[in-house]
Amino acid sequence: MDRQANLQAVAALDEPTRRRLYEYVAAAAAPISRDDAAGALALPRNTAAFHLDRLATEGLLTVVYERRTGRTGPGAGRPAKLYKRSENEIQISLPERQYAVAGHLLAGAITDAEESGSTPREALGRRAHAFGSAAPGATIAEALAGQGFEPHVDGPVIALSNCPFRALAREHGSLVCTMTLHLVEGIAAAHPEAAVSAELHPAPDHCCVRLVPRSA
């Protein structure tokens, strides 16, 4: 789910009845019907149905259809519409953080290093570069923004106002900043029209990486 979808999903839970329904379904051991939810929360069935469907629309619940009688074939009746917690993961952070991305890259790098015999740092650099190269965005600014870097033009330079890995960078600066450099290099490589190169340039309240004109 993208950032806008995550925001909408979280906003949907601001409604008290909807939040209670979500918590009820999430805690259930099996998918829940509208009648189950309405009875458990003492709600009119139409109210429960409305809110359950809204939660499904926002990606918080998944709809499944099952015959609860266990019967099949003619006369078994129509499958019931049931709800269960979605496998989507909703994450919102302000400013934006990308710790799941860091975990994915670091775990993949350890696996690659064990299989290839390279060092974990080398494997991490390759993983981060590949991830950056695949980052969606029609322009380099869109790709950087999509990864939480908050790019802005500062003269001939593209500065990055936000570090998506800030807490990790504070504890493991050399490793995480090098990972970030390779990731941004991957984004730059995917957008040759921008004619920029990534370089380490730590600055207060900024990411440790910035993009400079290739001619510089």
Tell me: pLDDT of 116 over 90. Answer: yes
Same domain assignment for residues 52 and 135: no
Mean pLDDT of 161-188: 97
Mean pLDDT of 128-150: 97
Mean pLDDT of 189-214: 95
Same domain assignment for residues 78 and 183: no
Tell me: pLDDT of 146 over 90. Answer: yes
Q: Which residues contact 164 (CB under 8 A, 6 or more apart)?
A: 96, 97, 98, 101, 147, 148, 149, 180, 207
pLDDT at residue 79 in the model: 87
pLDDT at residue 77 in the model: 67
Same domain assignment for residues 122 and 176: yes
Tell me: pLDDT of 180 over 60. Answer: yes
Q: Has residue 90 been placed in a domain?
A: no
Lowest-pLDDT choice from 92-96, 115-119, 147-151, 205-209: 92-96
pLDDT at residue 72 in the model: 60
* Inter-residue contact 149 to 138 (CB < 8 Å): no
Q: What is the mean pLDDT of the chain?
A: 93
Mind listing the pLDDT tens digit for each residue in 42-88?
Answer: 999 999 999 999 999 999 999 999 887 665 655 556 788 999 999 99
Among 50, 85, 120, the domain boundary falls at 85
Residue 124 belongs to domain spanning: 99-213
Q: Has residue 91 been placed in a domain?
A: no
Q: Has residue 52 been placed in a domain?
A: yes
The confidence band for 216, taking pLDDT boundaries of 50, 70 and 90, is very low
Same domain assignment for residues 66 and 36: yes
Q: Has residue 197 been placed in a domain?
A: yes
Same domain assignment for residues 124 and 182: yes
Mean pLDDT of 171-197: 97
Same domain assignment for residues 124 and 20: no
Cα–Cα distance measured from residue 174 to residue 192, given in angstroms and rounded to the nearest whole number? 27
Residue from 27, 86, 35 nearest 61 by CA: 86
Q: Has residue 92 been placed in a domain?
A: no
The two three-digit tokens of residue 212, written as one number: 């400079």
Same domain assignment for residues 204 and 118: yes
Same domain assignment for residues 193 and 131: yes
